[in-house]
Amino acid sequence: MNVKRFYGKTVSDAMNQVKQAFGNEAVILQDRQVIKKRFLGLKKEKIIEVIAATEEKEEKREIVQKSVQPVPQVPIAQRPNPGAKAYQPEQLERIVRQLEAQGVMSDTLKHIQHEMYPLYYKREDERTDVELLEQALEPLLVNPPFRNALKEDTTVAIFVGQTGVGKTTTIAKIAALYKLKKQRTVGFITCDTYRIAAVDQLITYSNILDVPIEVAYTKEDYRLAREKLKHVDILFVDTAGRNYQDADRVEELCEWLGERDDTTEIVLTLGLTAKESDLLRVCEQFEKLHVDQLLFTKFDETKTIGEMLTLMVKTQLPVLAVTNGQAVPDDLLQLDRYSFANYFVKEAAMGERPSVRITKPNANV
């Protein structure tokens, strides 16, 4: 085993030296920032030290193990474990701390670390924390992770979810977007007759937007309402908010909605102020309904959004939208992978969220 230390002003500089000396078979044992003294110790500068190794084929493993005494902590001929903090590069440690601060759970965090580690060492130039995290998320999420729209051929959008997550207000926001900005005809059906306020609220929105609305008290009412409003481009359906951690409630909803075709889209609405375990339970219960997209509400009411990332990874579903307030139709975020990564990194570093949407320069995600 041939072990050598390389120095450069940047990680990229040092890694280029590693490639020139050892080629692609090099194993990175450690990297760190060190202080180099110059001019009789009167001048100091920070540089990057990378310890790399390559195995000489003619050597036996027993001999190799004895030759690596300068860095005995690291397993021979193995890349350091991404989860082992002793050998985690400074940038990766920083990103991991930021993700932990945002409530990203350990299993999701391990997946991200697994993707970040090779990206960090294979890079040809310096990457910001946001860029590195964005690229690490790419293989973990569906593409695109944020669809920010219904499917092109969708004619019926059914919104389901727990009570109190803000389905009715969210439906009004998205319907307004399609009517006012996309010039589509829309209509409402409300099945949330358990709460009088919910019916009145959607009727108020229908009057403001000047769109038709039907109230369905029974399954037959729902069927007739669908038939009556089939002339609109997109029909938005507001279902009753119930305790959908109970499997029986989900079964009732499935029976109510009946069979669906390819032009019907089901959107699971989730409030980010709920516990991650509860959100995961709801997602599991709704698997039988074959949800098409997720929609997250109450983004503005929580300081941590790790649950959102975990759900996106575990469900492998795209996100229709994220709401960050009550205003209709304004408080509706449209994210991409870069701006999503930016919320994790910038908020943890600054203690606050970026006030504007951050777009990756010269790139489409």
| Rounded to 5°, angle at Cα 206 from 179 and 253 | 95
Do 254 and 288 touch, CB atoms closer than 8 A? yes
Higher pLDDT, 52 or 313: 313
Q: Residue 233: its pLDDT value, please?
A: 97
| Dist. CA 88–CA 95, nearest whole Å | 11
**333 DSSP β-pair partners:** 322
Reported as a single tens digit per residue, the pLDDT across 87-116 is 457 888 889 999 999 989 888 998 998 888
pLDDT score of 169 more than 60: yes
3-state secondary structure of 207: helix
Token reading at 251: 């079964």
Is the pLDDT reported for residue 74 higher than 50?
no
SS3 188: strand
Strand ranges of the sheet holding 43-54, from the earlier edge strand across to the other edge: 2-8, 43-54, 27-38
Query: Can you tell me the distance from the alpha carbon of 137 to that of 131, in angstroms, rounded to the nearest whole number?
Result: 10
What does the alpha-carbon distance between residue 216 and residue 199 come to, in Å, rounded to a whole number? Answer: 10
In this prediction, residue 306 carries a pLDDT of: 93
- Name the DSSP class of 276: H
- Nearest of 115, 116, 138, 112 to residue 127 by alpha carbon: 116
Residue that wins the pLDDT comparison between 95 and 44:
95
- Residue 77 has a pLDDT of 33
pLDDT mean over 140-165: 93
Closest listed residue to residue 332, CA positions, set 343, 322, 342: 322
252: which DSSP letter? H
Question: Which of 25-34, 157-166, 183-192 is predicted least confidently?
Answer: 25-34
Rg (CA), the chain: 26
Q: In what order do the strands lie in the sheet with 213-215?
A: 213-215, 186-190, 234-238, 156-161, 264-271, 293-297, 319-323, 332-333
List the structure tokens of 157.
């959008």
Q: Which of 121-135, 175-189, 206-220, 258-272 has the lowest mean pLDDT?
A: 121-135
- Could you tell me if 343 and 334 are in contact, meaning their C-beta atoms sit under 8 angstroms apart? no
The DSSP line for 144-163 is SSB--S--TT--EEEEEEBT
Measure the CA–CA gap between 120 and 125, rounded to whole angstroms. Answer: 10
Contacts of 170 (CB under 8 A, 6+ apart): 159, 269, 295, 297, 321, 323
Which domains are delineated in the chain?
1-80 (no CATH), 82-141+340-350 (no CATH), 156-334 (3.40.50.300)
CA distances from 146 to 1, 311, 337 (A): 47, 13, 7
Check whether 19 has a pLDDT greater than 90: no
pLDDT band (50, 70, 90) for residue 263:
very high
pLDDT at 29: 67
Given this model, what pLDDT does residue 6 score? 84
Asked if 229 and 157 count as a contact pair (C-beta separation under 8 A), the reply is no
User: pLDDT tens digits for 206-248?
Assistant: 999 999 999 999 999 999 999 999 999 999 999 987 777 777 8
